[in-house]
């Protein structure tokens, strides 16, 4: 390796090294960058590595007064809960079904919005729509709960309109209305989270070679054909990456969405269609103080999620190797 260094006379000395540096020399040469990384390394160790020790609770009959190292070992007894309790299978079905619904409807809608926004010529309009779409992502689910309650309550906006036209009010938060909630949750999820993915798709479109668009237009392609044959293929890598990440989290759910919006934290009347593994674990661990079983379920979630991510990545690699995440 060649190093250039200016001497005291302003001339440049050329030093030749063998390209090998000791660890001490690497630290000395890059200590500023290592110092910048230090807070993130500490955060990962404190919040991601150290908590792994508490996975031991999944194999214990954990009690607080005995502690992590004093609680008796029970082996895989906590994992047998999956096969003994029918309620957890309902939570698994809801988690998978609703996540697939969110991915199947939300992904094409977000891509279409990004493509149409990319075609906007007005920079002001583009920034305005970006802000409007992204703003809900910053709002807490607790605030969204108050908004949905004002719309769906017995005396809310929708029922007021229904009564004004002589109709019968709908009890959205009653058990008999549980079948409506997958659609309601889909709408809430799209409204709140679409803006985040939209920004990533739109940012990827910024690197599209404008000459490809111009060539397509010269060949007589309209806006729709340009989007379909030029812009959309350009997004295939980011689509694949986000799809792989989504499939990796298919056994998890947005806790705030499923706990606050259907008011499972208050009545639990809609659990048949809105209970997911995350809300089930919360009830099991925090409300019922069964920390061992809750930890076991969470561990299974992580293992299955990792397996799903790797399988999805493998399928994507077979279809298009360049679009694979790993």
List, in sequence order, every beta strand (DSSP E) within the chain. Answer: 2-6, 12-16
Determine the Cα–Cα distance for residues 285 and 291; give it in Å rounded to an integer: 5
Whether the per-residue pLDDT at 113 is higher than 50: the answer is yes
**pLDDT for residue 326:** 65
Task: Please tell me what DSSP assigns to residue 45.
Answer: I
Average pLDDT for 54-73: 88
pLDDT in tens, 68-106: 888 899 888 888 877 777 788 899 999 999 999 999 999
pLDDT grade, residue 30 (50/70/90)?
Answer: confident
> What is the predicted pLDDT for the residue at 13?
47
What residues contact residue 261 under an 8 Å CB cut-off, 6+ apart?
Answer: 141, 144, 145, 148, 184, 185, 188
Query: Token digits for 7?
Result: 């001497």
pLDDT value for 19: 59
Stretch 196-219: mean pLDDT? 88
- Please determine, for residue 47, whether its predicted confidence score (pLDDT) is greater than 60: yes
Answering whether pTM is above 0.85, one says: no
Percentage of the chain with pLDDT > 70?
93
């Amino acid at each position: 390796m060649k190093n250039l260094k200016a001497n005291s006379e302003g001339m440049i000395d050329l030093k030749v090294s063998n390209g090998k540096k000791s660890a001490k020399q690497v630290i000395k040469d890059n200590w500023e960058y290592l110092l910048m990384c230090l807070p993130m390394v500490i955060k990962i160790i404190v919040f991601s590595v150290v908590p792994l020790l508490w996975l031991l609770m999944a194999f214990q009959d954990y009690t607080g007064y005995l502690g992590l190292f004093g609680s008796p070992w029970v082996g895989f007894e906590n994992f047998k809960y999956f096969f003994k309790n029918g309620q957890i299978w309902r939570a698994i079905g809801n988690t998978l079904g609703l996540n697939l619904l969110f991915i199947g409807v939300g992904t094409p809608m977000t891509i279409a919005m990004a493509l149409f926004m990319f075609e906007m010529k007005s920079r002001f309009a583009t920034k305005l729509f970006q802000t409007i779409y992204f703003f809900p992502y910053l709002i807490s689910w607790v605030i969204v709960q108050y908004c949905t309650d004002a719309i769906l309550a017995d005396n809310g906006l929708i029922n007021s309109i229904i009564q004004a036209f002589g109709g019968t009010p709908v009890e959205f938060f009653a058990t008999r209305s549980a079948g409506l909630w997958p659609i309601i949750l889909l709408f809430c999820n799209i409204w709140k989270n679409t803006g985040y993915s939209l920004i990533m798709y739109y940012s990827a479109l910024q690197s599209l070679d404008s000459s490809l668009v111009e060539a397509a237009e010269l060949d007589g392609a309209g806006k729709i054909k340009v989007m379909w044959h030029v812009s959309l293929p350009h997004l295939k890598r980011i689509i694949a990456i986000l799809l792989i990440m989504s499939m990796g989290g298919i056994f998890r759910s947005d806790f705030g969405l499923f706990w606050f919006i259907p008011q499972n934290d208050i009545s639990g009347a809609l659990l048949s269609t809105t209970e997911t593994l995350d809300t089930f674990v919360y009830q099991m661990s925090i409300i019922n103080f069964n920390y061992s079983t809750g930890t076991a379920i969470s561990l299974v979630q992580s293992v299955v999620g990792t397996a799903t991510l790797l399988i999805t990545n493998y399928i994507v690699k077979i279809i298009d190797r360049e679009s694979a995440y790993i």
